[in-house]
Amino acid sequence: MKLITFTHNQQTRIGAVVGNKVIDSLNHPQIPASMIAFLRQGEAALTAMQQLINNAGDILSLDDIKLLAPVPKPSKFFGIGLNYASHVGETSYERPKFPVFFNKQSSCIIANDEAIHLPKISEKLDYEGELAFVIGKRCRHVPEDKAHQVIAGYTIVNDVTVRDWQIRTPTWTMGKSFDTHGPIGPYLVTADEITNPHQLTLKTWVDNELRQEANTSQMLFNCYEMVAYLTTVMTLEPGDIISTGTPAGVGVNMSPRGYLKVGQSVKIEIEKIGLLSNFVIDEPSDLALY
């Protein structure tokens, strides 16, 4: 199923998308309002949502809701660098021996159709189209052959990056975490609908120009290897997001540079998941909080 977080009539909750309709969970006593709480309930919540879909419960139009990121405030939001050979090849880096993880702060998350800000302090704004998976169970020391059991589903991430700030620190976190630089969505597609996450076509357009085209089979470290590696170190929680890296075609490696400009749109499509679309505006001048 395609799960969403949305707002309607000033109330935020989760639902499921069927065609162009939203199955609304507002009045269902067994379905919590937040995606993380939903994931924590596991099979019971999934069964309740499927029953709601089957019974065609309260229905809304997609046009009448405000879509939010599927998991608006995860406890962890990881990216991985240099995870496609094609991307390694277009950089000056060596092929990594181990997964190269970094943090994206959760305050950077925005939803489908929301604006990416071009920062006042840099014009080196770049896109990275990526498959992401969402953890569904609290887990630690998960073996690779069991990792599929802790993944709730899959979504799309644009790992927006400010390139000059990225290279200021070896961890890359600063250049990866500007506000609005974590578009996620539009849906969380449950794992039962993605029989093989390592055989999905990924495409990224800037305006109408196809910049990236690859298959997730080309990842150097697959989703299950990532789960095993991360859970060797830490406990992963329901709702944690792990973005799986980007293929060749990012703007910094184009000639001339293909950095994002105000007025442009970025669209990322992944087979069986959907289309994540965002547009670029100048960072607003009224954001200071002090």
- The answer to whether residues 62 and 128 belong to one domain is no
- The answer to whether residues 61 and 200 belong to one domain is no
- Among 51, 68, 85, the domain-final residue is 68
Write out the residue range of the structural domain in which residue 31 sits: 2-68
pLDDT at position 93 is: 85
pLDDT at position 94 is: 87
The pLDDT tens digits along the chain (290 residues) read 999 999 999 999 999 999 999 999 998 999 999 999 999 999 999 999 999 999 876 899 999 999 999 999 999 999 999 999 989 888 878 899 999 999 999 999 999 999 999 999 999 999 999 999 999 999 999 999 999 999 999 999 999 999 999 999 999 999 999 999 999 999 999 999 999 999 999 999 999 999 999 999 999 999 999 999 999 999 999 999 999 999 999 999 999 999 999 999 999 999 999 999 999 999 998 888 88
Q: What is the SS3 assignment for 44?
A: helix
What is the rounded distance in angstroms from the CA atom of residue 174 to the CA atom of residue 167?
9
Residue 143 located in a structural domain: yes
pLDDT at position 261 is: 98
User: 275 — phi, psi (to 5°)?
Assistant: -130, 125
- The answer to whether residues 125 and 262 belong to one domain is yes
pLDDT at position 58 is: 84
- The answer to whether residues 84 and 200 belong to one domain is yes
- Among 68, 89, 112, the domain-final residue is 68
- Whether pTM > 0.95 for this model: the answer is yes
CA dist 46 → 30, 38, 139, 211, 238 (Å)? 10, 8, 19, 36, 14
- The answer to whether residues 200 and 258 belong to one domain is yes
pLDDT at position 175 is: 97
- The answer to whether residues 263 and 120 belong to one domain is yes
Residue 287 located in a structural domain: no
- The answer to whether residues 81 and 203 belong to one domain is yes
Residue 290 located in a structural domain: no
Question: What domain count does the chain have?
Answer: 2
